[in-house]
Chain A
Amino acid sequence: MSALVALTHAELITLVRRPAFVISALCILAFSTLLLPAPGAAYSIITYDGRPGLLLGGAAGSTSALLVAVLLGLVAFFVFGGTIRRDRRNGFGRFLAALAVPTSSFVVSRAVACAIGLLLVALGVAVVLCAEGVLRNGASFGIVEFLRCYVPTVTAPLVLFGCLAVIIDAFTPDSSAVRVTIALVAWFGVLASSIAGSAFVPIPIALAFAEIAQQAGPSTSGMAAIGYVPANPHVIPFHWTGLAITAGFILSRVYLILASFAILWLCSLAFDRFKKAISGGGIYLAQHSIVQTPAYAPLASPLRPNLVHHIVADLACGMRAQRTATILAIALAAMAALIAPWGLSIAKMILLLDAIVISRILWLGEFGIPGDRFTETIAGCARDWVLWKWLDIFGFSSVISLPVIFVALIHQGPAAACGFIIGMAFIAALLSLAARWSGGAVLGLAVAALWWYVTALNTPPPVLDIAAIAQTPSALQLAVFAALVAAALAVGRITGARGAFR
């Protein structure tokens, strides 16, 4: 027991002193206020099989619950996922192996330390949300109700995914295929239990189902049968009466599974060598051959390369090197576009596409295309590099977004399509700059992704409009973001290496 306590204590200290933890905690705290439903949002009580329910927000609350579940989980993967791999990598694991401490103690202590770390963050979030809720809604908001609403929403995914990451890390060999398979099984297990209406379903995910089903329309939604009335501003008791399997219900779940797959894919990129696992090493090898391609020849010139030429070359090389990713992304986007006319909002589709876009950027952030260093060395102009990279990302995003832009044009007119395009540019700019400047690509992306999702999609309920994509953040939000980027940059300089964040 003494060893277990010592391990947990040391692990916790190690964890909370990492710059990534501090920055992530600050980011989560800063963004947590965005999770509040707007004044007038509906509140509802949900009951599973007669068990006591939880008080939660309406459409906006449940949407953000899904997003928070996935994205805070993603942050948890990034920040807490590597503790055991860290020991393997730096050689300390070898030393620990010579101690009379069982492996299970290490695993348990790490899981406990992660859980405590995550709970500390969740506690901070709860305090911020509570203060914010009272400020916005006055005493009538109800602190107790508020805490009952948000603490489980924020805590459950953090703890679940954080611990899951550690356990996967501990018990799987350095085979990404195994890790990804476990992650897949775990993720779909959660989905399956949601569909089955299990009482043990994580609340955010269950409510996301309710919200998505509600988006599909009351007449076709299985969850509508439980009496979900988001417009009612009063507390409404809900009772689980089972699911009605209808076309809309199935479609909504197909959509969610697609979205989940994309997000899972994104999460899986956090695991090293996943790329090799899905492509048999082809992508990785292709990346290393990029610098040999004629498209990069201008960079070898001592003269300043032609910007247009470079953008084209960068995009072409990137897509060629990531052929599998590109095909998969286009296929997913096309499938999402096909599903959209049947009652699912475009905002949901954008969820999927954003996951793909972020995964693309993550890919660049994690590995970079080999030309990156080459570019920096030869051309020596970081500012242009950022511009090129942004344009590359934007170009890639635009290509895979064509089906969505098309659907937006047909269903919601040119203004919506323009809004979508502007939104995509906005995301790409934010993500690439955050990744570049934070000093830690992965951390920057996690921060930027979280920022993007909560900003763009936590619009007043119950309508999730495509225009939200182009919604301009408030001055306060921008200031917070700028401060975070500055902090990340400062820490990046202090620690002196991108790797310090991983």
Chain B
Amino acid sequence: MIAGDTALDFVELRKRFGQHEALKGISTSLRPGVTALLGPNGAGKSTLMHIIATISSPTSGEVRWRGERLTSKNIDRFRRELGYVPQQFAGYPQLTVGEFIRYIGRLRGLSSGDLRGRVERSIESFALQPFVRTRMGACSPGTLQRVALAQALIADPTVLLLDEPTAGVDPNNRNALGDVMRDAGKRAIVLVCTHILSDLDGLATRAIVLEDGRLASDSPTNFESANYG
């Protein structure tokens, strides 16, 4: 475990793709709680999510976890504390929902004793019991999205990244998802990238708005005045 408070800091993050600069010096800090990441298309939200998820690295600048700069030496320790739901989630269609969640649990390093209980709890939390024996390839997009969330939360992550988490999820499950996010936000950093602002109403305590790769605003949530969709 890296020493220090549960804080994820970004210092002058830049990301360049050829001639295009997707992130132009983002500096901010995330603390436990639900934070909304907003902005129009092309603002750099996905790029920032990818950098935090350690899928891509910044061209310059740094990411600090608990005060320590993330490098190749300590990145795996950060990854063990990370839960991630990508925008387009695709598991293996041949695995059943139960098998897939167990699979991810084991990849996240859960012990055999721990695994069973956590898998059952995740399945229950997201009402996936009817689909435990259903192959992923036969699941609806909404069910897949719930599987994605279940796998992300299985190891009690300290940092939870949700990229468009409510896409394809029906209203009942959206409410359930809200409860899960609220619960996770009490102890973890939850960063939610979304266009559906109503899902975060009363849930997110902070909104980070990106525009053209820059930090346009970073303030306590006030979705009524926000205008991104």
Contacts and interface: CB of A to CB of B under 8 A. Distances in A.
Contacts of A2: 106, 109
Interface in B79-133: 79-80, 82, 84, 86, 88-92, 94-95, 99-100, 103, 106-109
Contact of A98 (B54, B88, B95): B54
Interface stretch (A12-20, A49-57, A321-329, A466-474): A12-20
Contacts of B100: 10
Contact of B99 (A13, A97, A101): A13
B77 interface: yes
A491 B80 CA distance: 40
A475 interface: no
B55 A98 contact: yes
Contacts of B55: 94, 97-98
B76 interface: yes
B34 interface: no
B190 interface: no
Interface residues of A, number: 22
Nearest to B55: A97
B182 to A, nearest CB: 23
Contacts of B37: none
For chain A, what secondary structure do more than half of its interface residues adopt (helix, strand, loop), or is it mixed? helix
B53 interface: yes
A3 B54 contact: no
A18 B25 CA distance: 46
Interface string A2-26: 1101110110011001100000000
A94 B161 CA distance: 13
Contacts of A101: 107
Contacts of B103: 6, 9-10
Given A3-B109, A6-B106, A100-B80, A95 B86 contact: yes
Contacts of B82: 98
B79 A10 contact: no
A3 B95 contact: no
Interface residues of B, number: 27
A139 interface: no
Interface string B197-208: 000000000000
A124 B77 CA distance: 44
A90 B109 CA distance: 24
B92 A91 contact: no
A476 interface: no
Contacts of B77: 100
Given A10-B99, A13-B95, A95 B89 contact: yes
B53 A10 contact: no
A365 to B, nearest CB: 23
A399 B80 CA distance: 61
Contact of B92 (A92, A99, A100): A92
A199 B76 CA distance: 43
Contact of A99 (B88, B91, B95, B108): B108
Contacts of A100: 75-77, 79-80, 108-109
Given A14-B95, A98-B82, A102-B76, 7 more contacts: A10-B95, A13-B94, A18-B94, A95-B86, A98-B54, A99-B108, A100-B108
Interface of A: 2-3, 5-7, 9-10, 13-14, 17-18, 90-92, 94-95, 97-102
Interface of B: 50, 53-55, 75-77, 79-80, 82, 84, 86, 88-92, 94-95, 99-100, 103, 106-109, 135
- Nearest 10 pairs of A and B residues by beta carbon: A6-B106, A100-B79, A17-B94, A100-B76, A90-B90, A98-B53, A14-B94, A10-B103, A14-B92, A98-B84
24 contacts: A2-B109, A3-B106, A6-B103, A6-B107, A9-B103, A10-B99, A13-B94, A13-B95, A14-B95, A91-B88, A92-B91, A94-B50, A94-B55, A94-B86, A95-B84, A95-B86, A97-B54, A97-B55, A98-B53, A98-B55, A99-B79, A99-B107, A100-B75, A100-B79
